[in-house]
Amino acid sequence: GLRREGNETGVYGTADGAQALGHIASAQVNAIYHLQGFGSLLQNEAVAERMREVALQFSKRDGAIVLTGSLELPETVRRLAAMVSLPGPETGDYKLLLEHILRDLSARMRVTSMLTADDEQRLLNNLRGLTLLEAEKVLTKAIVEDGRLTASDIQHVVDAKKQVVAREGVLEYYPVEESMSEIADLTGLKDWLAKRRAIITEPDRAAEFGLTFPKGVLLVGVPGCGKSLCAKAIATEWHLPLLKLDPGALYNKYIGESEKNFRRAMQVAERVSPVILWIDELEKAFASSDGGDDGGVSQRIFGTFLSWMQDRKGDVFIVATANDVTKLPAEFLRKGRFDEIFFVDLPDPESREAIFRIHLVKRGKLPQRFDLVQLVSVTEQFSGAEIEQIIVSGLYTAFSQKAELTTEVLLAEARTTRPLAATMAERVNWMREWSRERTVRAN
């Protein structure tokens, strides 16, 4: 219940929330009352009304009620309150915490730190978003397990962030396995990303040089050419967590809940930053932003998203993909929303050969056993996804025939496949024309 600071004994009969508020009202003591974790109790209408009455008393006498923790104040109470969001720990705070933990544990056990300067910077960057208490638990556990602190222990921090994301339930933590070496071609995009990688690994030097954290990229182009794969590869190359935003999961039938879910998703992304935020098929999320038949929900979320993109405080790099730019609101395509807009075209012959090699090796097949020149020639206008599907279908055919996968099997599959670029040639040609003056080529 209520107790005076420094006194171990609580006031009798104040363990209940409503009784504690009743005591504050009747005692008429000018004081600062700190109610920790009181937010959930305010969901009770009677307690919320009692809080409003007590708060009104403090407008006539000295003192205040301070609520801390995760709070969702009822409207009647919110009008009387000043909301303050405390900033999270800075990199320097985590560095001091790490030094304290190493010093404390070294006094009790043999501890070896094997981090290089770059490894330590990566560790500190990944700790951002965790509270000092959460960071202390993660670091202590990592060190105590084997008496060492190594670069591999950064994974403990990543796992802790994964739990934070899962707890909120508005974003999906996506495991990353692909690397840039598994993406054929896209040299323009790869070069652009490589130039910005140092900002992630050396943030302090980048800040001194006058650089800020990059905003993100919008990838448009032909479906199946590796746009979504790029999001996973960027996260791997930059050693950052990958969060996926599923717009469909944000929408709620209750008024105001969809917007609240979206704001919470953005707060989670900022909290666990630096992070890659992947929004797949962006046009599906905001195709109704003209306020059509959804009561204007998409339009309001779209407006909130644009404001957040402009003013976000966390280091969140957005990788958005779109297959149909005609459905994207014009505001997304304005210069400055994203650092760059890339157009991902169909792979050329050299890239198609690389795609065949990548997917054959992935499935335990030796590329040199196949006539790649012939396979490349019959897959003109095929996307990377369509080439992969040819290999998958060929494997099913060979397996059912109890035979090995051969060039002939793959050629037969390719000749029975009509690529999207052929069935929707007008649309593909229009996209190429549209992108010519508006985007940068990723290939």
- Check pLDDT > 90 for residue 408: yes
- The DSSP 8-state label assigned to residue 182 in this structure reads G
DSSP 192-218: HHHHHHHHHH-HHHHHHTT-----EEE
Give dist(CA 204, CA 212) in Å, integer.
Answer: 10
- Check pLDDT > 80 for residue 399: yes
Percent over 90 (pLDDT), the chain: 14
Q: Which pLDDT score, from 0 to 100, does residue 397 have?
A: 92
327-379 pLDDT, tens digit each: 777 777 777 778 888 888 888 888 889 889 989 998 899 999 999 999 999 99
Phi-psi map region of 394: left, alpha, beta (phi>0 left; psi -120 to 50 alpha): alpha
- Check pLDDT > 70 for residue 290: no
Q: Which pLDDT score, from 0 to 100, does residue 98 have?
A: 92
Q: Which pLDDT score, from 0 to 100, does residue 85 have?
A: 80
Calculate mean pLDDT across residues 267-286.
Answer: 82
Calculate mean pLDDT across residues 41-54.
Answer: 87
Q: Higher confidence at residue 326 or residue 114? A: 114
* Residue whose structure tokens are 């070896």: 112
- The DSSP 8-state label assigned to residue 175 in this structure reads P
Q: Which pLDDT score, from 0 to 100, does residue 165 have?
A: 79
- Check pLDDT > 70 for residue 287: no
Q: Which pLDDT score, from 0 to 100, does residue 395 have?
A: 93
Calculate mean pLDDT across residues 423-442.
Answer: 83
Q: Higher confidence at residue 88 or residue 23? A: 23
Q: Which pLDDT score, from 0 to 100, does residue 18 have?
A: 84
Q: Are 218 and 322 in contact (CB under 8 A)?
A: yes
Q: Which helix H or strand E contains 154, and what residues bound it?
A: helix 154-168
Using alpha carbons, select from 260, 89, 302, 38 the residue that is nearest to residue 169.
260
DSSP 67-117: EESS----HHHHTT----PPPPPPHHHHHHHHHHHHHHHHTTS--EE---H
